[in-house]
C-alpha cells in the first residue's frame, strides 16, 4: 500500500468514525425526546476533517522518529490540535463542556481508527500467510 | 496454449520447449516445476566460484551496488544485478523492496505493525522488511 492509499484509507475511517459517533449521538438524543441538529456544512466539514486528520499519518511512516510509540503520541497531539482548530472554525462546540464533549468523540474516533487499521492489517496478514502455507518449502 | 506430449526412450532426450509471446508468471512457474528447482547460478564464496541452486535461496539483497545471496545459513556474492536475477529466477522470487528479492517459499509468515510496515520471518528465523508498496504485488502473485 502506498502513502496515498494509506491517506485515503485513514480519511475514510476518520470521516466514517465521526459520522457514526455523531449519528449515534443524534439517535440517542431523538430517542430521549431531544434534538441535535447540525449545520448545512456539517457533512462537508467532516470530510474535510478526515482529510486534514489523515495527513499527520505521514509521521507514522517516518523512520527518523523512534520508537514507534513516540510517533503515535506526536500523531495524537497533531490531530488533537487539528480537531480543536476545525471545531472552532466549524462551530462544533460552544463553551468548555461542548469542547470536552467533542474531544471525547475525538478520542473514541481515534481509538476506532486504530482498531480498524489493525483489523485491516491482521486480515491481510492472515490471507497472505494462508497462501504462503500452500507453497512453503518443508525444511 | 496448445500442449503436445511426445514420449522419448531415455532421460537425456527429455526436454521441453515453450513457445509463447511473452514469459509470463505462469510460464515461469511451469519452467520452475519442469526444472525441479535445480536451476543453478554462479556465486562467489571466499573468492571461489560455486554454483548454487536457486531453490535454496532465501533472499537476495543489493548493498552498495554489490549483490548478496542468502541461503539458510550462508551468504554468497554474485556478479548478477538484482534486476537480472528478478528476470531469471522463478515465479516464487519476488521484489519486496528496492534492494531485495525474496523467495516466497522460504517465508514462514508475515506480520504488519501499526505503522504499516510488514515484516517477514524466514524459515531460518531471520526477519526481513517488506515495503508496503510491494504488498500488492505479493498478493497478486499469491492470487489473492
The residue among A72, A128, A135 with the most chain B CBs within 10 A of its CB, best to mutate, is A128
Whether residue A132 and residue B107 make contact (CB cut-off 8 A), yes or no, is: yes
Give the single-character DSSP code of B23: -
A122 or A66, which is more confident: A122
Number of domains in chain A: 1
**What residues contact B137, with CB distance under 8 A and at least 6 apart?**
B94, B95
Angle between helices A3-31 and A42-54 (to 10 degrees): 140
Q: What is the mean pLDDT of residues A14-33?
A: 88
- Name the residue range of residue B109's domain: 38-141
| B1 falls within a domain | no
CATH number at residue B110: 2.40.50.1020
| B19 falls within a domain | no
- Name the residue range of residue A69's domain: 3-132
**What DSSP assignment string belongs to chain A?**
--HHHHHHHHHHHHHHHHHHHHHHHHHHHHHTT------TTHHHHHHHHHHHHHGGGHHHH-TTS-SHHHHHHHHHHHHHHHHHHHHHHTT---HHHHHHHHHHHHHHHHHHHHHHHHHHHHHHHHHHHHHHHTTPPP-
Q: Considering the entire predicted model, what is its pTM?
A: 0.68
CA max distance for chain A? 67
pLDDT digits (tens, 9 = 90+) for A59-92: 877 777 778 788 888 988 998 898 888 888 888 7
Q: Does A60 touch chain B (CB under 8 A)?
A: yes
Distance in Å, alpha carbon of A39 to nearest chain B alpha carbon = 35
Q: Does B56 touch chain A (CB under 8 A)?
A: no
Amino acid at each position: 500500500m502506498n502513502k496515498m492509499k494509506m491517506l485515503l484509507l485513514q480519511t475514510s475511517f476518520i470521516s466514517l468514525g465521526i459520522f457514526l459517533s455523531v449519528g449515534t449521538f443524534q439517535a440517542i438524543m431523538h430517542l430521549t425526546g431531544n434534538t441535535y441538529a447540525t449545520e448545512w456544512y456539517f457533512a462537508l466539514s467532516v470530510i474535510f476533517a478526515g482529510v486534514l486528520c489523515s495527513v499527520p499519518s505521514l509521521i507514522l511512516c517516518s523512520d527518523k522518529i523512534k520508537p514507534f510509540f513516540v510517533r503515535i503520541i506526536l500523531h495524537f497531539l497533531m490531530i488533537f490540535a487539528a480537531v480543536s482548530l476545525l471545531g472552532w472554525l466549524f462551530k462544533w462546540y460552544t463553551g468548555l463542556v461542548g469542547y470536552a464533549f467533542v474531544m471525547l468523540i475525538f478520542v473514541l474516533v481515534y481509538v476506532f481508527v486504530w482498531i480498524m487499521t489493525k483489523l485491516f492489517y491482521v486480515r491481510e496478514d492472515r490471507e497472505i500467510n494462508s497462501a504462503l502455507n500452500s507453497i512453503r518449502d518443508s525444511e | 496454449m496448445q500442449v503436445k506430449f511426445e514420449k522419448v526412450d531415455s532421460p537425456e532426450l527429455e526436454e521441453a520447449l515453450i513457445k509463447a509471446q511473452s514469459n509470463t508468471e505462469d510460464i515461469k512457474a511451469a519452467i520452475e516445476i519442469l526444472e525441479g528447482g535445480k536451476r543453478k547460478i554462479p556465486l562467489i564464496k571466499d573468492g571461489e566460484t560455486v554454483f548454487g541452486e536457486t531453490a535454496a535461496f532465501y533472499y537476495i539483497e543489493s548493498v552498495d551496488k554489490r549483490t548478496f545471496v542468502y541461503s539458510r545459513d550462508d551468504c554468497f556474492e554474485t556478479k548478477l544485478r538484482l534486476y537480472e536475477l528478478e528476470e531469471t529466477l522463478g515465479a516464487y522470487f519476488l521484489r519486496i523492496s528496492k534492494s531485495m528479492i525474496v523467495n516466497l517459499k522460504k517465508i514462514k509468515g508475515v506480520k504488519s505493525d501499526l505503522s504499516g510496515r510488514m515484516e517477514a520471518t524466514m524459515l531460518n528465523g531471520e526477519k526481513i522488511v517488506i515495503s508496503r508498496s510491494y504488498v500488492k504485488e505479493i498478493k497478486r502473485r499469491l492470487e489473492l
